[in-house]
């Protein structure tokens, strides 16, 4: 469960029992979601970014990710889309990030979609290192949930460096894309023997 620091301003990464992380990793394996680059998930992230850009009328698709959050201290972007800068360069973005940075760990903990239109307007999120370190200003994410157990085992998200008025349409968009990826992952699900 997520907690607030002593100042009341910083939303700390949720602390979880070791067993919970192990269960999530078992579900990730069952659904074929692994902590390595996956070209199909990269394509999914690009399509999600394009859909988000169309929704908000942005010319350049924002960042989009399919995130694997392990039992340890790391999260991994198995699917990743990084937008091209105005100069035509693609920034070099690592596929790993500390678990306590970013917002997907909170989405995973909540077990439901999270829409943050302007991160700097919400004190608990504005102090996250991703805001100051990378300039991210908006987040739209949803958990991937195992249908049999109800346990969240990964996330999808969209991030941008500009505040975005996602509204109800953004919430529907991220839920629909989450549902689509869940169907794709379930179709390739590894069955226990």
Q: In three state form, how does the secondary structure of the chain look?
A: CCEECCCCCCEECCCCCHHHHHHHHHHHHHCCCCCCCCHHHHHHHHHHHHHHHHHHCCCCCCEEEEEEECCCCEEEEEEEECCCCCCCCCCCCCCEEECCCCCHHHHHHHCCCEEECCHHHCHHHHCCHHHHHHCCCEEEEEEEECCCCCCEEEEEEEEECCCCCCHHHHHHHHHHHHHHHHHHHHHCCCCCC
C-beta of residue 141 within 8 angstroms of C-beta of residue 158: yes
At residue 38, the pLDDT reads 96
Q: Which pLDDT score is estimated for 17? A: 61
Q: How are beta strands 11-12 and 63-69 bridged, if at all?
A: unpaired
pLDDT confidence of residue 191: 53
Q: What is the rounded CA–CA span in Å between residue 64 and residue 55?
A: 14
For residue 9, what pLDDT is reported? 45
pTM of the shown model: 0.87
Domain 19-82+93-187: CATH superfamily is GAF domain (3.30.450.40)
Q: What is the pLDDT of residue 80?
A: 97
List, for the chain, all residue ranges whose pLDDT scores fall below the cut of 50: 1-12, 192-193
- Which pLDDT score, from 0 to 100, does residue 18 have? 64
């Amino acid at each position: 469960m997520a907690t607030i620091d002593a100042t009341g301003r910083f939303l700390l990464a949720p602390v979880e029992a070791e067993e919970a992380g192990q269960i999530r990793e078992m579900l990730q394996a069952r659904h074929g979601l692994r902590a390595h680059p996956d070209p199909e998930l990269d394509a999914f992230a690009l399509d999600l970014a394009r859909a988000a850009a169309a929704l908000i009328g942005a010319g350049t698709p924002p960042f989009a990710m399919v995130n694997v959050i392990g039992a340890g201290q790391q999260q991994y972007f198995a699917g990743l889309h990084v937008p091209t800068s105005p100069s035509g360069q693609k920034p070099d973005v690592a596929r790993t990030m500390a678990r306590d940075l970013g917002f997907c760990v909170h989405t995973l903990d909540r077990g439901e979609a999270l829409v943050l239109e302007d991160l700097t307007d919400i004190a608990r999120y504005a102090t996250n290192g991703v805001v100051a370190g990378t300039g991210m200003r908006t987040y739209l994410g949803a958990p991937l949930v195992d249908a049999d157990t109800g346990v969240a085992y990964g996330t999808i998200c969209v991030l941008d460096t500009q505040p975005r008025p996602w509204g109800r349409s953004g919430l529907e968009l991220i839920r629909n894309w989450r549902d689509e990826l869940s169907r794709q992952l379930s179709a390739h699900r590894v069955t226990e023997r």
